[in-house]
């Protein structure tokens, strides 16, 4: 039975262990944005012994390249991007304590295995509803790689961002469950 769970970052093993595929999450606190170019730089920096632009342990990364903020807003449309483009980097970050990834679309086998092994979750944001997602963002600040434009790393403060658990720490996959339930 799915439920609605309110969580605040940074996330812990206990926070993510209670989540089940299909649960709704209302996420508050600080999250970070990064897409594939930023992921590549973050992973390279860590491998070279440098500090990443934000603390990875307990973090949630939102796969988004927001549009410019219109007057009076902190951010423009902020809908999720397709997550599999980050699959090459996600297991490395999960091993270092990343607790949640936010995006849209399916994840690869290695990412799902890393989520189970290291207690992390994949959360789906509502695709095609960038303005709705932006409504949950109360602060936005570029903190790294500004030359990447919309794909720069941002620190976002969110208040009850509406998300759904796709992959949980127990190995469940909402997309597979849906296919099984409606494919009969």
CATH number at residue 98: 3.20.130.10
> Which one of 39, 109, 118, 170 is the catalytic residue?
39
Residue 53 CB-density burial (10 A; 0-12 exposed, 13-18 middle, 19+ buried): buried
Q: How many domains does the chain have?
A: 1
129 has a pLDDT exceeding 90: no
The token duo for 16 is 């993510």
pLDDT band per the 50, 70, 90 thresholds, residue 90: very high
The token duo for 66 is 């927001």
What confidence score (pLDDT) does residue 155 get?
98
Q: Which residue has the higher pLDDT, 182 or 73?
A: 73
Range of the domain at 159: 4-182
* Active-site annotation holds for 118: no
Of residues 127, 128, 89, the one with CA closest to residue 105: 127
Helix (H) or strand (E) holding 62: strand 60-62
Q: What angle do CA 3, 6, 9 make, to 5 degrees?
A: 140
pLDDT cut 90: percent of the chain above it: 89
pTM of the model: 0.95
User: Which residues make Cβ contacts (< 8 Å) with residue 158, sequence separation at least 6?
Assistant: 27, 28, 29, 30, 31, 136, 137, 138
């Amino acid at each position: 039975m799915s439920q609605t769970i309110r969580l605040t970052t940074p996330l812990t093993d206990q926070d993510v262990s209670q989540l089940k595929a299909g649960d709704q999450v209302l996420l508050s606190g600080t999250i970070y944005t990064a897409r594939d170019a930023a992921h590549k730089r973050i992973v390279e920096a860590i491998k070279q012994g440098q500090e990443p632009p934000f603390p990875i342990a307990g973090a949630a990364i939102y796969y988004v390249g927001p549009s410019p903020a219109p007057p009076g807003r902190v951010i423009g449309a902020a809908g999720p991007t397709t997550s599999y483009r980050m699959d090459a980097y996600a297991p490395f970050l999960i091993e270092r304590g990343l607790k949640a990834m936010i995006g849209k679309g399916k994840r690869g086998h290695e990412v799902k295995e890393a989520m189970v092994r290291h207690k992390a979750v994949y959360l789906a944001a509502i695709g095609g509803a960038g303005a709705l997602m932006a409504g949950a963002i109360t602060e936005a600040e570029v903190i790294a790689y500004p030359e990447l434009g919309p794909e720069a790393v941002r620190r976002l403060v969110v208040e009850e961002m509406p998300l759904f658990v796709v992959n949980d720490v127990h190995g469940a996959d909402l997309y597979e469950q849906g296919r099984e339930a409606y494919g009969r």
